[in-house]
Structure 1
Amino acid sequence: MPGVDIVKGSGRIDNGPFAGVTWQATPALTLTGAAYYDHMSNAAIGNGQVGSGYCFTFVALAEYALSKRTEVYGTIDFDKVSGAASVELPGRNNQTGVALGLRTIF
C-alpha cells in the first residue's frame, strides 16, 4: 500500500475473534450473518512507526437457489476502523460494500 512501510521485526499481533450464523429460511433461501473483530498492536502506521488499533466488520448474505446449480445472492458488509487499522481505509474510518450476483456451480 503506498505510504505505508513494512516495519520488520515489529512483532505485530492480531487478536481477532469472530462469530457467524447461517439459517436455512426456506429450501431455496439461506441467510448468513457474521461479525469479525481485530485488535492489532505493533502494526505499521508509516514512517517506521508502529501503533495499535481495531477493526470491526459486519456481514449479511442472502442466497436464493433458482435451481440445483444456480443461485442469486446479495451481500452487504460494513467496516469500522480506528488507530493503526486506519491505514486500511485511508482518509476515512468506515466503509460499506454491497454486491449482487448470479452464481452457477459446475
Structure 2
Amino acid sequence: MATQYKKIQNKIHPKDEKKENVDLKPKASRDALLLVLIAVTLIILVLAWSNMDGIGRGMYGALFVGMVVVYINRRMEFSDQVRKVLIGVSSALMLASICLLGLSMYNQFFG
C-alpha cells in the first residue's frame, strides 16, 4: 500500500533534478525590452533637448541613467553589497524621475 502511495505521489509531484541547477540570469526578452526603452528615452532626450525645460531634462536624464543602472545590475556579476547599492541608486533615480514628472504636471496645469 505504501509503495502504491509513493508511486502516485511521484506521478502527481515528480522530483525535479533541474530545480537544483536553476539559472538566475534574466531572460533575453526582458533585456531587449529594457534596451528598447533606454534607446527611446535617449532619442526623446536628444531630439527634444532644446524644447525641454530644466525639469523635463532632469526627468528624462534621471530615467535614462536609472534604466542604464538597472541594465548594468542585471548583466554584470557583482557582490551582494554592490547589488544592493545599485538597486538603491536605480530606485532613487526612478523615484526622482516620477517626482519630477509630478512637478512638471503641477507646473503645467496649476502653476
Structure with bigger gyration radius: 2
The TM-score with structure 2 as length reference comes to 0.23
Task: Name which structure has the greater RCO, CA cutoff 8 Å, separation 6+.
Answer: 2
Relative to its length, the structure with more strand (as a share) is 1
